[in-house]
Amino acid sequence: MEALAAARPRGRRWTDVFERPGVLASVLISPAVVFVLVLVGGPLILAIGLSFTNATSGELGGKWVGLANFRNEWSNPSFQHAVWHTFQFTFISQAIVLVGAGLLAHALSKNFRGKWFLRFLILLPWAAPLPLSLMAWKWMFDTSYSIFNWTLVHLNLVDKVDPPQYLAESKLAIGSVIAVHAWRILPFALVIFLAGLASIPKEVDDAAAIDGATGFRKFWSVTLPLQLPIATVALLFGIVFTATDMAVVYILTQGGPPPSFSTEMVTTWAYKTGIESGSLGPGAAISLFLLPVLAVVTILMLLFARKAEVS
Amino acid sequence: MESFGRALREKGFAYLIVGPFAIVLAFPFYVMFITAFKDQTEFYNPEVTPYWFGKDSPTWANATFLFENTQYPRWLANTAIVGLCVVAITLVLALPAGYALARLAGRVGQSLGVGIFLTYLVPPTLLFIPLFWVINQVNLQNSIWSLVLVYPSFTVPFSTWLLMGFFKTIPKELEDAALVDGASRLKTLTRVVFPISLPGILTVVIFSFSLVVNEFVYAFTFISPSENKMVSTGVYTDLIRGDLPEWGAIMVAALIPSIPLALLYNMFLDRFIAGFTGGAFR
C-alpha cells in the first residue's frame, strides 16, 4: 500500500482525473447512456420519420406524405377494431391480475409448510420463456384434441360432435387470449406485491395489534393503504406489458379468427401492415399510436418515483 | 387455545387460496410434461386420458425425433450464443453505469437512473419497424448478430437499474477503507466493489439471459432462414406446421429451456426483488 501511495503523488498522473467523482461518474455512465440513446431514441425518431412517408421494405426512403398515414388508419375500421380489442385485452386481463395477485400476496405473506414449492408453481408462467409455454396453450386449445374439451365431453357438458373451438370462435378467442395473458402477468404482479408487503415495517404490524386491529379490519385500514402505491406500480407495468404485447396474440391466433378478427391488436395490425405487407410508413404510424399509452404510464411512474423519494 | 385455533384457520385459509391458484397456473406445464413423454398414438386417442400416460408411455420417442429430425439443436446453440454475447455487452455497459449512478452522481444519478429505467418500458412492438429498416440497411437481416446488436437495448436499462439497487445496499465504509489505504477509485471498484457484488451480478446475468430467451418480436421479424432461428421463434414457426404438428416433440422443445430457467429464476428471485426495489425506495 505504501508503494502504491508513493508511486502516485497527487497531481502528477493523468489518471488522477478519475479521482474526481464527477469525472469518473461521467466516464462510467456515458457508454450505457449513449448506447441506450442510439438504440432506443434513434429508432423512436426514425419511427416518427417513417410514419410521415410511404416507405416500403422494397425501396429505400419513400416520399413525404404528411399526416396521411395517421389519417388513413384513424378512419380504417380494422385499426379502430384493433384499438378496441387492445383496450379489452389490457383492462380485463389486468383486472383479473390485480384481484388474483392481491389475494395470493395476502395468503403467501404467511408461513406454512410447502410454501416454497407452491410459490415455485405459481411463478412458473412468468419464469418460463413465454413463446415456449404458449406452445402448451396452443396444444390445450387444439381443435380436435383439446384437454378442456376432452374433460367437458367426459362430464357431458359439451357436445362431442361440435365442441367449442377456443381459438377459432370470435368470442372464445378474445376470452382465451385475455385468460392466457392474465395467467402470464399474474405471477409478475404477485412478485411486486410481495416486495411491497415485505417493505411494510414490522412496527406497523405491532402498532395495529396493540390498537386491537385484526383480520379484515387490519387489512382494510392498515395493509391496503400501505399496499396501494406498490399495487399502482404493478398495474402500470401490467398495462404496458399487455397493451404492447404481440407474442401471446400472434402465436395463439395471429390476430384472427377470420372473418371477425376479434383478437387483432394494435401490435399485430402494425406487424401485418408494416412487415407482412411491407408498408413500413403506415406500419410505423400504427405502432406510434401506442405512444400515448406509454406517455401516460411514464408520467404516472415519475410522479410515483418522486413520491417514493420524498417519503 | 383460542389463538391456536385462529392460527390453524389462517393456515387453512392460506392453503385454500394458494392451492387452487398453484394448480391453475402450473397446469399448462403439467400438460407439457405429460405430452412430452407420451406415445404419439396415445395423445391422439380419446380413449387414453390426457391427464396421464397410457400403456406405451413414458417414451423418449418424441425427444429422439426432436433432436434427430429438426433444427432444434441449432436453435438452442443460436440462443446460447446470442444470450452469452448479450450478457457480456450488458455487463460491460451496465456494471460501471449502475455503480456510478448509485455512488458518484448523487441526486442527478437518481433521476438519470429513473430515466434509463423508463427506456425499458419502450416496447419492441414500437421499435421493430424502424429497426427492421436499419437492420436491412446494414445488411444484418437473417443473421443472429442483428439480435446481439438490438437486445442490449432492453437488457442494459433493466440491468443498470438492478445493479444500481444492489450497489446501494453495499456499505460505503468498505470503499472508504480502501480509498484511505491509498487505492485509486478505479482499483477500489475492480478489487473491492465488484467482487462483493458477485451475487448481484449473477442475478443480472440470469435475468438478462432470460429476457433474451423470452424475446419474440425482434427474432420473428429479423430472421427467416430456419438454421438461424432462436428457440423462441423456431419451435413456433417450424414445428407447428401442417394438419398434425409433432405435439410431443414440440412439448419436449418447450420443456428443455423452461426447467433450468424456472429453477434459476426462483433461486435468484429474492435477490432480484432486493435490487429492483432497492433502486426505488432506499
Q: Each residue's pLDDT tens digit in chain A (311 positions)? A: 444 444 444 545 666 666 777 788 888 888 999 999 999 999 999 999 999 998 887 766 788 888 999 999 999 999 999 999 999 999 999 999 999 998 898 888 878 888 889 999 999 999 999 999 999 999 999 988 899 999 999 998 988 888 999 999 999 999 999 999 999 999 999 988 888 887 777 777 778 777 777 667 777 777 777 777 778 888 988 999 999 999 999 999 998 888 889 999 999 999 999 999 889 999 999 999 999 888 888 888 778 766 655 44
Minimal Cβ distance to A302: which of B112, B114, B157: B114
Residue identified by cell 384513424 is A74
Q: What is the mean pLDDT of chain B?
A: 88
Q: Do B101 and A50 touch (CB under 8 A)?
A: no
Minimal Cβ distance to A107: which of B18, B104, B132: B18
Q: Does A150 touch chain B (CB under 8 A)?
A: yes
Q: State residue B278's pLDDT score.
A: 63
Q: Say if CB B80 and CB B88 are below 8 A apart.
A: no
Report the residue of B129, B153, B192 to disrupt the A interface, i.e. the one with the largest count of A CBs within 10 Å. B129
Handedness of CA A112, A114, A116, A120 (dihedral sign): negative
Q: Do B21 and A187 touch (CB under 8 A)?
A: no
Domains annotated for chain B, with CATH where assigned, are 2-59 (no CATH), 71-278 (1.10.3720.10)
SS3 assignment, position A53:
strand
Residue type at B12? G
Q: Do B32 and A133 touch (CB under 8 A)?
A: yes
Q: State residue B3's pLDDT score.
A: 65
Q: What is the CATH number of domain A76-310?
A: 1.10.3720.10
- Rounded Cα distance, A119 and A113, in Å: 11
Q: Say if CB A128 and CB B261 are below 8 A apart.
A: yes
Query: Which chain B residues contact residue A287 at CB under 8 A?
Result: 125-126, 128-129
| Neighbouring C-beta atoms of residue B202, cutoff 10 Å | 14
Q: State residue B281's pLDDT score.
A: 45
Q: State residue A138's pLDDT score.
A: 94
Query: Which tens digits make up the pLDDT trace of B45-78?
Result: 888 889 998 888 799 999 999 999 999 999 999 9
Q: Does B194 touch chain A (CB under 8 A)?
A: no
Minimal Cβ distance to A191: which of B109, B183, B273: B273
Query: Which tens digits make up the pLDDT trace of B125-168?
Result: 989 999 998 898 889 989 999 999 999 999 999 999 899 888 88
Q: Which H or E element spans position B272?
A: helix B247-278
Q: Which cell numbers hold the place of B164? A: 444500481
